[in-house]
Structures are given as structure tokens and as C-alpha cells.
A and B are shown apart, each in its own frame.
Chain A
């Protein structure tokens, strides 16, 4: 303090001509500690800064003094700003030269973010909020999410946390016969999730390399398991779709979008309608970080499957920054989400349906013969499609019960009976199918009860469609089942049904 007194003495000499030059004791508070300084009350802030800079061993340029919520300018006099004996002045040491500090406001957050040096470790809180700010102000969420990528790469453990959630494991473990492969498959799913959604946002080559390396290693692991690679893809797509959908629904179901610090509600809301496909998953993922959705969702969701999922996912987000890591390699492998982009409300409806049919979620996960080669998302988001799917599942089950010899055909993914055909043959799944068919049947039986009680619409009630069916038959559509499905899907809209029947054979 002697030094401080000397300084104070200096300032006393210098400013002795001026009015009062009382020495006051001012506390200077940094984020790390608090230090008292003695100086004349009419000394300038600049002088004060010099004192402080000597103490903190930094440039005066980098000091920002704040008192009573006001930023002190160099030319200010302490007493004029109300700094008295015993006052506390806060100090922030800037890591960058202050450019727009005194002018207030945000000077081009985008610029700041992109010029920011790579490693976020030293500035995590700042980065997080900065990213959020960026998202808020940047019209291009893609840029924003590329920044997101940077942060994600620094928190790989979050992925593990997510994957260890029992529900994820449970979902995965439903796939009997995959056994070991499954946990890895779910891992890959989660990794692929963002990969699918952020292919365009991967902008920083340096980070890309790191991330790619990381993911390569992680993916090698599952692939090292014999047959793991084969098991991965079909399993992954389902789980991926389900997770994606449920996550999206979770977000959408909140009504207003309140994201994490990474995801500003305003910006995402604005962008939601314009680019839901890319932004929804990213948003929902990021928004999962916002814990705001949990209580509401927990209230909404009765389903154990989903609600089990929720804490897992949300804990993931809560407890981590971003569980998603990108892997460009995966982008081409994973099934692209190229279908018509679901709106949040549609996803919301799908969530409700999933909620009503907890068994459905399991069903989708465990896999019926149909689902593995169909993208789930469009089904989930179209309630009529979902109903149609349920009916198909029911029908298949009934068939397999009534005519046992049909079982191999039914469970052969090549041609599901009564459905509009799925050409893929997947030998590797057949064995699995047969093994689990018993289990799946029983399961579906059980789930059917749930489904029927949950869905208010009468299932398999052909009577409703009798008239339309006859019309279709008259027009030459002889496949009764296909007609029925089409009518159900299009809600008795015969024209749409016709188009459907004429159009893609895929359900």
C-alpha cells in the first residue's frame, strides 16, 4: 500500500491546486479478489487505472472500471462519479483490446464470433452466451451451429452421459439378438443425428479434423464388433428417427420455444417456419439444453418410454453442452431426411400420439417387419399415416396368428403382407426376425390393447370406408387392402386416395 500512497501523494501534488484532494480508500474488486487502494478523490480514472494496472500487471487499455453500473471513462474524476471513501469499484480485465466497449451495445456479434480464437476452453461462459447472441442476431443459423460444433467438440463426455441413460439402453436392448451391438448402435445414432442435420454447418476445417478423428475412433469401436456394422444401420435409423421425432416433439410441445443459452428463442422461432428441417433438430437438440421444457413435458407425457427418455435427454442437455458431434463421413451413410419438412405442430401431434401409445414407441424401436425400411418421421408426423401403420401392424399380427404358415412371409422384410410393398431384402435381419418374432408378436399383442384404447378412431372399421372402397373398386383399384390403407391415410378423401394408390407404392 505504500506504493499506492506514493501514487496518491503524487496525485495530491499534481492536483493540489484543485479543490479538495482528500485521500480516499477505494476497494477494487476483480473477479478473483478484492484490493484496496488509497488515492485522491479528485484523481482521474486514468490515474486510478494506472494504479490498478500496476497491481494487476496488465495494460491500462485492458481495464474496464465499473462503478454503480456505470463504466468509468478515463477522463472522469472519481469524486464526480460518486466514488467516495469506502466505495467499491469493479474491474474487468479484458482479454481483447476494447474496441466497442465504451460505445455500448454489441458491435457485430457475428464478427466477434468468427474472429474469436478457436479454443473455447478459457472462455466457456462467454462463448456459450456469445453463441446464443449470435443465434439471436445472425440470420443464418447454419453459421451459428457451426460455432456450436466447436463447443461440442470440447465436451465428448456428454455423449457418454447421454448414452448411458437407461432408457436409451433400454430402447436399444429391445433389439434382441443385437446384444452388444445395440449400445454402440445407439451411440452411433446419436452421433449421426447431428451429422445429418448439420452437414452444411461444418465450417471450420481445423475443428472438423479433430471431430472427424474423434468420431472415427468412436465408430470404429462398434464396427469392430462382429456384425456390428450391419446391425448398426437399420437399428440406428429407427432409433434415430424416434429420438429425433421425440426430441422435436418435445420442443414443439412447449409452445413457445425456449432454448438453451445456445439457442435464442426469438431467432429460432423466426427461423422455425422458414427452415424447419435443419433447424428443428438442431434447435430441439439445443433447446433440450434449456431445462424449461422438462416440467411441462413431464406433465404432458404419460408414456414411460418417452418420459424415461426425457430426463435422460434433458439431463444430457442439462449436464452438458452439446451431446452432438458431427461426422461428415456419416452424412452420406445415414438416411437423409429429405422428405417434406415437418412443422413443429405436426411433430407435436406426433408426440401426442406417441404419448398415447407408449407401446408404439417400443414397437417402433423393437421393430416390426415394416418399419425398418421406412422412414419413420413422415409417419410419425402424419397422424393418419400413423394410424395406417398401426392398422397394418395389427393386420399383420392377426394374419400371422390366423395363418401360421404366413409367418416367415410376414416377418420377411421383403414383402409385408397387405402393405404397399417394400422391396428390400435383408437377409441379415431374417434370422433375427424369426428369433424375436414370438417376442414381437406377444409384444404387439400387448401393445395393441394400448393402442386401441388410446386411439379413439375405430381401427379396422371398414364400414366407414365402404362407399369409398366400392368406388375405388369400380375405378379399377382391385387391391382391397391397399385401397383401405389409402383411404385411412387420406381420411376418406377418395381423390387423395387415388393419387396415393397411383403414386408411390411406398406407404
Chain B
């Protein structure tokens, strides 16, 4: 039997704050955040990510964010593009519908983690998946008065995170209706 092809799987990591989080987080949150991470999985020469519009894809580096800040080598996979796409469709109909998007609980990094495990059995670096809990945990400990009176107690940085992600770049091309 011929050896199956191996396809590289990469994780593209973007800092949504473009460095601002690193500089401002100590002030605003009382702890150091290295960045506000948005991630996507690149495999089969395509970049896949999850946003409020559901699962989207584009050529690698083809989002508004431009080229990634970091590229993490997740590993290799035997999963062919065909199977992968079917998998993504199923995901998009179940766990990762557009409306399922939640900035803290079920976001792009959740998706990247899920897909990375599917493709390679490995998870993405924990500093990315731990980010929401990091941010949320600052709501109680922030020394400043930035803690908003928002119902969920999320700090101002959290709100601005929300604003960033809502505003622009995470909206990939929407999947056609019916997904």
C-alpha cells in the first residue's frame, strides 16, 4: 500500500491588539497580557478560521489582519482535503455555527484548537487557549476603576476586545445560507 501523503498543519497567530495589549494590559488589567490572540489553522494551502460569520476560509494570510504575527507548526496530517472539508461542514452545522460564536467561551481559538486536534492530535499552545480566562479573571482583580458595570463583569479591555473582533477583521466570507 502506498504511503499516505502528509500535509503540514500550521497555526497562524495574530495579535489583534497589534502590540497594544502588551503595553496597556498592565495598566488596564493589572497583569501582563502578551497579546489578544486570534488564530487560524492553515492546511491544504488554505487558512480556516471561525468568527461570528461561522467557519470561513481564505488563502493563507488573506484576512484583514494581513500576515500572522507568529506561525506555529502544529504537525502533519494524513487527512485529505476532501475529508477535512466534510469535517468542517459538519462542524459548521453543529458546534461552530456563526451564532455559536462567543468571544470568550467559544471563539476562533476554540475552533483552531478543535481542528488542530482533529488534524494532528495535538492542541494549540496553551497561552492562546488560556487567554479568555486570563482576561476574565482580571475583572475581579484589576486595580483600576476600569472594571465596567457590564453584566458579566468583564473589564474594559474585555469590552474593547469585543469591539475589535466585532468591528472588522474576523468576519470572513460568509457561508451561503443553509449552513
Residues of chain B in range 137-179 having any CB-CB distance to chain A below 8 Å: 168-169, 171-179
Q: Is the CB of A101 within 8 A of B58?
A: no
| A321 at interface by CB-CB < 8 Å | yes
The closest CB in chain A to the CB of B67 belongs to A292
Interface size, A (range): 35 or more
- Shortest C-beta distance, B165 to chain A (Å), equals 13
- Shortest C-beta distance, A134 to chain B (Å), equals 11
What B residues does A70 contact at CB under 8 A? 4, 77-78
Known contacts A31-B95, A92-B90, A126-B89: A151-B4 contact under CB 8 Å = no
A 279-293 to B, binary, CB cutoff 8 A, 1 in contact else 0: 000000000011110
What A residues does B81 contact at CB under 8 A? 106, 129, 133
Residues of chain B in range 63-119 having any CB-CB distance to chain A below 8 Å: 63-66, 75-83, 85-95, 117-119
CA distance A95 to B118 in the complex (A): 18
| B34 at interface by CB-CB < 8 Å | no
| B39 at interface by CB-CB < 8 Å | no
| A295 at interface by CB-CB < 8 Å | yes
CA distance A322 to B88 in the complex (A): 20
What B residues does A73 contact at CB under 8 A? 1
CA distance A292 to B61 in the complex (A): 7
| B30 at interface by CB-CB < 8 Å | no
| A264 at interface by CB-CB < 8 Å | yes
CA distance A29 to B113 in the complex (A): 14
| A498 at interface by CB-CB < 8 Å | no
Contact residue among A124, A133, A136, A290 (Cβ-Cβ distance under 8 Å from B92): A124
Q: Is the CB of B87 within 8 A of A92?
A: yes
Q: Is the CB of A102 within 8 A of B4?
A: yes
A 64-99 to B, binary, CB cutoff 8 A, 1 in contact else 0: 101111110100000000000000101011110000
Interface centre among A66, A73, A95, A155, by most chain B C-beta atoms within 10 angstroms, is A66
Q: Is the CB of B57 within 8 A of A132?
A: yes
| A378 at interface by CB-CB < 8 Å | no
Known contacts A66-B118, A154-B178: A265-B79 contact under CB 8 Å = no
The closest CB in chain B to the CB of A259 belongs to B59
| A157 at interface by CB-CB < 8 Å | yes
| A351 at interface by CB-CB < 8 Å | no
Contact residue among A130, A264, A318 (Cβ-Cβ distance under 8 Å from B172): A318
- Shortest C-beta distance, B40 to chain A (Å), equals 12
- Shortest C-beta distance, A115 to chain B (Å), equals 13
| B46 at interface by CB-CB < 8 Å | yes
Q: Is the CB of A155 within 8 A of B58?
A: no
- Shortest C-beta distance, B46 to chain A (Å), equals 6
| B62 at interface by CB-CB < 8 Å | yes
Interface centre among B1, B54, B57, by most chain A C-beta atoms within 10 angstroms, is B57
- Shortest C-beta distance, A424 to chain B (Å), equals 40
- Shortest C-beta distance, B123 to chain A (Å), equals 11
Q: Is the CB of B176 within 8 A of A294?
A: no
The closest CB in chain B to the CB of A155 belongs to B176
CA distance A126 to B44 in the complex (A): 13
Residues of chain A in range 115-167 having any CB-CB distance to chain B below 8 Å: 119-130, 132-133, 136, 151, 154-155, 157-158
Interface centre among A66, A69, A130, A155, by most chain B C-beta atoms within 10 angstroms, is A69
The closest CB in chain A to the CB of B173 belongs to A289
| B26 at interface by CB-CB < 8 Å | no
CA distance A127 to B46 in the complex (A): 13
What B residues does A154 contact at CB under 8 A? 176-178
Contact residue among A30, A71, A129 (Cβ-Cβ distance under 8 Å from B46): A129
Q: Is the CB of A95 within 8 A of B86?
A: yes
The closest CB in chain B to the CB of A105 belongs to B5
Contact residue among B62, B65, B89, B122 (Cβ-Cβ distance under 8 Å from A124): B89
| B56 at interface by CB-CB < 8 Å | yes
Q: Is the CB of A106 within 8 A of B80?
A: yes
Q: Is the CB of B63 within 8 A of A292?
A: yes
| A461 at interface by CB-CB < 8 Å | no
What B residues does A31 contact at CB under 8 A? 87, 90-91, 93-95
| B132 at interface by CB-CB < 8 Å | no
What A residues does B173 contact at CB under 8 A? 128, 260-262, 289-290, 317-318, 320-321
Contact residue among A64, A264, A296, A320 (Cβ-Cβ distance under 8 Å from B59): A264
Known contacts A31-B90, A102-B4, A292-B62: A128-B53 contact under CB 8 Å = no
| A258 at interface by CB-CB < 8 Å | yes
The closest CB in chain B to the CB of A29 belongs to B118
What B residues does A67 contact at CB under 8 A? 121
| A32 at interface by CB-CB < 8 Å | yes
Interface centre among A126, A133, A154, A157, by most chain B C-beta atoms within 10 angstroms, is A126
CA distance A31 to B92 in the complex (A): 9
Known contacts A124-B179, A126-B85, A290-B59: A32-B90 contact under CB 8 Å = yes
27 contacts between A and B (CB under 8 A): A31-B90, A31-B94, A66-B83, A69-B77, A90-B87, A92-B83, A92-B87, A92-B90, A93-B86, A93-B90, A104-B4, A105-B5, A106-B82, A120-B178, A121-B178, A125-B55, A125-B57, A128-B175, A129-B81, A130-B85, A158-B174, A258-B58, A259-B58, A261-B173, A262-B173, A290-B62, A292-B58
| Sample of 19 more A-B contacts, CB < 8 Å, known A132-B59, A155-B174, A261-B57 | A68-B120, A90-B87, A101-B80, A103-B2, A104-B78, A106-B80, A122-B179, A123-B85, A124-B92, A124-B179, A125-B89, A128-B173, A154-B177, A154-B178, A265-B59, A290-B58, A291-B62, A291-B169, A296-B66
On B, residues with C-beta under 8 Å from A are 1-2, 4-5, 9, 44-46, 53-59, 61-66, 75-83, 85-95, 117-122, 168-169, 171-179
